[in-house]
């Protein structure tokens, strides 16, 4: 199964995360298929940069986001666009 999840990078006590597409069996910081964005929780407000086209492509291919990535995508409005695409494709 393919998942959209966070991969930790950065030094000790200063986490920065990549939003990646990875096989669910690979380790958290292991192999991944593609980087689709970045998330920095230490800035105020937290900075979220996700490539919308890539995220929508992987969601339409069946990739499952983790809970954290789902909330990030929802904040950016990507989940709403994906649901609209699903409804329009069913009509």
The Cα–Cα gap between 3 and 24 comes to 6
| pLDDT value, residue 89 | 76
DSSP label of 15: -
Calculate ∠ Cα 86-84-61, nearest 5°.
40
Q: Where are the alpha helices (DSSP H) in the chain?
A: 52-60, 67-76, 78-90
Q: Per-residue pLDDT tens for 16-74?
A: 999 999 999 988 888 899 999 999 999 999 999 999 999 999 999 999 999 999 999 99
Give me the number of domains the chain comprises.
Answer: 1
CATH number at residue 20: 3.30.1320.10
Domain with 20 in it: 2-90
At a CB cut-off of 8 Å and minimum separation 6, what does 63 contact? 2, 3, 4, 21
User: How high is the pLDDT of residue 88?
Assistant: 82
């Amino acid at each position: 199964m393919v998942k959209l999840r966070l991969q930790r990078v950065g030094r000790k006590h200063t986490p920065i995360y990549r939003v990646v597409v990875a096989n669910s069996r690979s380790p958290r910081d292991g192999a991944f298929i593609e980087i689709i964005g970045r998330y920095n929780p230490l800035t105020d407000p937290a900075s979220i940069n996700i490539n919308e086209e890539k995220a929508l492509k992987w969601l339409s291919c069946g990739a499952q986001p983790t809970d954290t990535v789902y909330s990030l995508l929802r904040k950016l409005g990507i989940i709403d666009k994906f649901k609209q695409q699903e409804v329009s494709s069913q009509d």
